[in-house]
Amino acid sequence: MTYKILITGGCGFIGSNLAIFLKKKKFQINTLDNLSRKGSKLNLKRLQKFNIKNFKLNINNKEKLLKLPKYDFIIDCSALVEVSTELNNIDKVLRTNFLGTNSILLKCVKDQSNIIFFSTSRVYSISKINSLIDNKKLITKKIHKRKKLQVNEKFPKSSPISFYGLSKKSSEQLIKEYVNCFNIKYLINRFGVVAGPWQFGKVEQGFFSLWIWRHLNKKRLNFIGYGGNGYQVRDILHIDDLCEIVFMQVKKFKLVNNNTFNIGGGLKNSIDLRDLTYISRKITNANIKINKIKKTDNSDIPIYISSNKKIKKFYNWEPKKNILEIAKDILNWQKNNFKILKKYFN
């Protein structure tokens, strides 16, 4: 069965990789992206090689969005992905992420399309995540001891959750209101950290890619927060593993819909910044200086590890690529595209 799919934010890191992946699986793919993210024009060129048409449109332009062709699915990857506490950013984040989802939902209702929404682990309560760890300095380096720290879909979502988290949590609720009233169907995926080729990493987002790039270029990095020691732990999901599970979700949509999943690298793919530094050194042969910035941002969390129990139960899926494979894939991509990428990384 081939479906017509619109991927919003389709020139971003996840959207562009997913668009190409699904096109190779013979789906009919269009993307929508206003090309605002640095690097999205480069991704657009990749899409064009696969004959994927992009509508250059702001997601908040409802009038034009409603005039686009009809799709079986809209996969929503358009967002401002920043857990920023800058005051002048808040309005933009809410408008793009929350009202952007509203525009997409209007289009879904008009055409009776299904929506697959890409949410985030940041919908979970910062204070409850903090309280998983008694003493931030004691985040264990032993992976098996992190087992009880995995977060499942029922984990509390009380404030604070960051403005970005709020925009996504509100979008999730908005989707459910539309579904209740207008008979459309949804899936919500709450991803942890996703990494892989074509992610133009920056401090606010995409640290894994940034870490390897800075090592490759022998530039400095910072350990920010928690005393500046690189204690923070995250689970890392390779973009190919993400594409595989979304493909399964589209194929099985008639059987599994109106549901919410945590999806991440999971326990085995959890790593702290110290170990990421160790791996980056090993694969690049570079030993760079890492500065300590002791103060922790109020929106930061010491650890996040997705529980993949539910997604595994529904689809028998689990991530295939381990941390070292992810790091090597990114390094090869950066080396093979070194000259072009210089413009897109700091």
**Which positions touch ligand NAD (CB under 6 A)?**
9, 11-15, 33-37, 40, 58-60, 77-81, 96, 100, 118, 120, 191, 193-194
H-helix or E-strand containing 299? Answer: none
CB of 36 to ligand NAD, least distance (A): 4
CB of 207 to ligand NAD, least distance (A): 9
User: For 83, phi and psi rounded to 5 degrees?
Assistant: -90, 60
Task: Name which of 90 and 288 has its Cβ closer to ligand NAD.
Answer: 90
Structure tokens at 161: 């959750």
Please, which residue, 35 or 286, has the CB nearer to ligand NAD?
A: 35
**Residue 161 identity:** I
Between the alpha carbon of residue 255 and those of residues 72, 185, 187, 259, 329, the distances in Å are: 15, 11, 12, 11, 34
Q: Which is nearer to ligand NAD, 139 or 194 (CB)?
A: 194
Q: Report whether 195 contacts 237 (CB < 8 A).
A: yes
What's the token pair of residue 60?
């908040």
Per-residue tokens: 56: 């250059």
Contacting residues for 159 by C-beta, under 8 A, at least 6 apart = 125, 166
Q: CB of 254: closest distance to ligand NAD in angstroms?
A: 24
CA dist list (Å): 29 to 11, 50, 208: 12, 10, 28
Query: Using an 8 Å Cβ cutoff, are 79 and 13 in contact?
Result: no
Nearer to ligand NAD, 59 or 133 (CB): 59
Q: Measured from the CB atom, is 11 or 327 closer to ligand NAD?
A: 11
Q: For ligand NAD, which residue has the nearest CB?
A: 12
Q: Which is nearer to ligand NAD, 189 or 227 (CB)?
A: 189
Q: Quick one: which H or E segment has residue 76?
A: strand 73-76
Nearest distance in Å: CB 276, ligand NAD: 14
Question: Does an H or E element contain 65, and which?
Answer: helix 62-66
Q: Min. distance of Cβ 261 from ligand NAD in angstroms?
A: 12
Q: Which is nearer to ligand NAD, 36 or 291 (CB)?
A: 36
Smallest gap from Cβ 154 to ligand NAD, in A, equals 19
Nearest Cα residue to 80 out of 161, 164, 16 = 164
Dmax over CA atoms of the chain, in Å, equals: 57
Q: At closest approach, how far in Å is the CB of 165 from ligand NAD? A: 10
Tell me the three state secondary structure of residue 261: strand
